[in-house]
Homo-oligomer: A and B are copies of this chain.
Amino acid sequence: MEKDEEPQRRSIGARRNPETEKAILQAAHEVLQEAGYAGFSIEAVARRARAGKPTIYRWWPSKGVLLLAVYHLHKRAFTHHDTGDLEKDLLLFLSALFNYWHRTPYADFFRSILAEAQADEATSDAVADYARERCAQIAEVFERARRRGDLVPDAEPLVAAELVLSFAWTRLIQNRLEISDEELRSVVRSLVRGVLKSGAG
C-alpha cells in the first residue's frame, strides 16, 4: 500500500508509522461511535487523532476506505470451524455471520461502506480487495475438504468461496438477515452438492 519515498520525506508521514496508524483508526472508531455515520468526517478524525488530514488521506484515500479499515479491525473475526464435514463447516460459518450482523450495529456499518463504494472508486477498490481476502479465507474451508479427498477433481475453492460470500452480502444489502437454519441448510446444500444429476446436461 505504501509508496517508497525518498528518506527526507519520511518525517512528514509518507511511510506508515504503526503508532500513528493505530491512533487514527482508534480515533475513527470513536468518532463513528459518537457521531454516527452521518456525522463522520476525516476532519473530525484528524482533530481527535491530532494527525494531519494529508496523512490520513495518504493512507486511506477516502472516508469509505478508512471506514472499511475500522470495520475490518473491529468486526468479530470468524474462526472457520473444522468439523470434518464441509456442509457443517459452511453452515456454522454462515449462521454465525448472519447472527452477528443481525444482532450488532456492524451490519448497518458495513452497509454504509457498501453504499459509499457505489459512488467512490477508492472505496469500491478497497471493498473488492476486502472481498478477495474474505474469499481466500472461506476457500480454506473448501481446501480442507479437498485435502480430505471430499471434492471432485475440478472443484475450484475460490469460486465456491465467492458464491458463499456473494450469498451473504446480497442478503445484507437487501436487509434480509433473518434466515432460518433450514433455509441456510438449503443454500449450503445447493452450493456444495449442486443441482444437476451426475451425467445430466
Contacts and interface: CB of A to CB of B under 8 A. Distances in A.
Interface of A: 85-87, 111-112, 114-119, 121, 124-125, 127-128, 131, 142, 145, 148-152, 154-157, 159-160, 162-163, 165-167, 169-171, 173-176, 186-187, 189-198, 200-201
Contact of A150 (B124, B163, B201): B201
A201 B200 CA distance: 22
A197 B193 CA distance: 8
Copies in the complex: 2
Contacts of A200: 86, 145, 148-151
Nearest to A113: B118
Contacts of A86: 195-196, 200-201
Given A151-B197, A197-B152, A173 B173 contact: yes
Given A128-B176, A159-B190, A186-B156, A195 B118 contact: no
Interface centre among A112, A169, A174 (most CB of B within 10 A): A174
Given A163-B166, A163-B187, A193-B194, 11 more contacts: A87-B196, A121-B175, A124-B175, A127-B173, A128-B176, A148-B200, A150-B200, A162-B170, A166-B171, A173-B173, A191-B194
A165 to B, nearest CB: 7
A201 to B, nearest CB: 5
